[in-house]
Amino acid sequence: MGLEPEPLFQAWSYFRRRKFRQCADLCSQLLERPPGEQAAWSLKTRALTEMVYVDEIDMDEEGIAEMILDENAIAQVARPGTSLKLPGTSQGGGPSPAVRPVTQSGRPITGFVRPSTQSGRPSTMEQAIKTPRTALTARPITSASGRYGRMGTALFEYIFHHENDVKNALDLAALATEHAQFKDWWWKVQIGKCYYRLGLYREAEKQFKSALKQQDMVDTILYLAKVYLRLDQPVTALNLFKQGLDRFRGEVTLICGIARIYEEMNNISLAAEYYKEVLKQDNTHVEAIACIGSNHFYSDQPEIALRFYRRLLQMGVYNCQLFNNLGLCCFYAQQYDMTLSSFERALFLAENEEETADVWYNLGHVAVGIGDLNLAYQCFKLTLVNNNDYAEAYNNLAVLEMRKGHTEQVGDLQRSYTAAQKSEEAFPGHVDTQQLIKQLKQHFAML
């Protein structure tokens, strides 16, 4: 007959095995016994925190509320290449927006969905004001995790992450750093995190800079770069990352941060170079592999892109998006035997209607490519069944209807010319738009 394990030891075992609910319940039972142990309090706060933990470095969702209520003064007309708001046209020979989908601000969609990109932003004000507290992180344990041993740090993380009470967390951090006679860099970082969450970016910048002077840490550099990006100062963030690389050579998170900024500034070729540098340090970095594969695909190199996506498959990435990309690469690389099976697997793995709509939309393009317009029509219709707001599907259905001769209004040259001018403003280098404007001017000259 085995002996019963000591309850606190069993709770620690649950925590190490990431069974946080059982750990918290067992700690609650321990705290009901007199007297309550401080170790049980600390472990319970850690368990409850880990259940809703959000990595503040990676998780940065700028929704409609932040965009509308932003009171930070920035340059209204920024110099080219110095702003994320107006990144301009593609630089460095990257793929043009004509062949690569872009976000609402004009930046090309990357190969990796990140919380800070527009693809992850909420579409309504109701969603925007909800606190994002359900995201998990794939990053390894950071340097801050080792400080959970003290009750004060565990309590701060509990208030900040679990209770989401930033004001009280800020008060606790301010008292703690005052108690430490302003010599503890960790508490300064926590104050900076609170200021950042409250939208006080300049105050957060001061705290992170002060912490860096006391202790040079990669995490602090990443936090400070987030502040500069929110202030729309990508060049300052780039310089910060490059200075960090001088001190932490080969640090993957810093190199990846540089690549992300270049990607958001629409400098795709430089971003690809830095992602390749990431792979030299860590050849299993999913984000770098996905972004390089995406860049090759939109640069008319589907065979090379296929190699990168197959690498992800070998690494165990198994989701709808990957098989969707594999299907497209196989189709454009003329490996037709794998195209439909990849899309079938993507449909099977789709977790929501938006993912299903993406697969049907791409199947519609495949149908157009093989000349089966009836199948294409059905695929685009199924896209709208799953996502009624899919603008690209409406556009392609309109083109198919026009080919069938089902036009309701023909000959409105003025509206066509106005629309073409707006198209030229959005993408000055689009050849088809320029040819259309030339034809319209010839029509007007004949009138």
Q: What value does the mean pLDDT take over residues 342-368?
A: 93
Q: What value does the mean pLDDT take over residues 319-345?
A: 93
Q: What value does the mean pLDDT take over residues 234-250?
A: 94
Using pLDDT thresholds of 50, 70 and 90, give the confidence band for residue 163.
confident
What residue type is assigned to position 383 of the chain?
A: T
Residue 401 inside a domain? The answer is no
Using pLDDT thresholds of 50, 70 and 90, give the confidence band for residue 95.
low
Q: Is pTM beyond 0.85 here? A: no
Whether the predicted pLDDT of 279 surpasses 90: yes
- The contacts found for 325-333 with CB under 8 angstroms, 24 or more apart, are 325/293, 325/294, 325/297, 327/362, 327/366, 328/297, 328/302, 328/362, 328/365, 328/366, 329/297, 329/302, 329/303, 329/305, 330/306, 331/366, 331/369, 332/297, 332/302, 333/302, 333/303, 333/306
To the nearest whole number, what is the mean pLDDT of the chain?
81
Whether the predicted pLDDT of 335 surpasses 60: yes
User: Of 108, 74, 67, 72, which Cα lies nearest the Cα of 88?
Assistant: 108
Report residue 55 as tokens.
Answer: 């990595």
Question: Which residue would you say has higher pLDDT here, 33 or 376?
Answer: 376
Residue 430 inside a domain? The answer is yes
Residue 427 inside a domain? The answer is yes
Domain limits at 19?
A: 7-51
Residue 404 inside a domain? The answer is no
Residue 38 inside a domain? The answer is yes
What residue type is assigned to position 147 of the chain?
A: R
Residue 420 inside a domain? The answer is yes
Number of domains in the chain: 2
Q: What is the pLDDT of residue 121?
A: 43
Whether the predicted pLDDT of 347 surpasses 60: yes
First to last CA, the chain: 101
Residue 231 inside a domain? The answer is no
Residue 33 inside a domain? The answer is yes
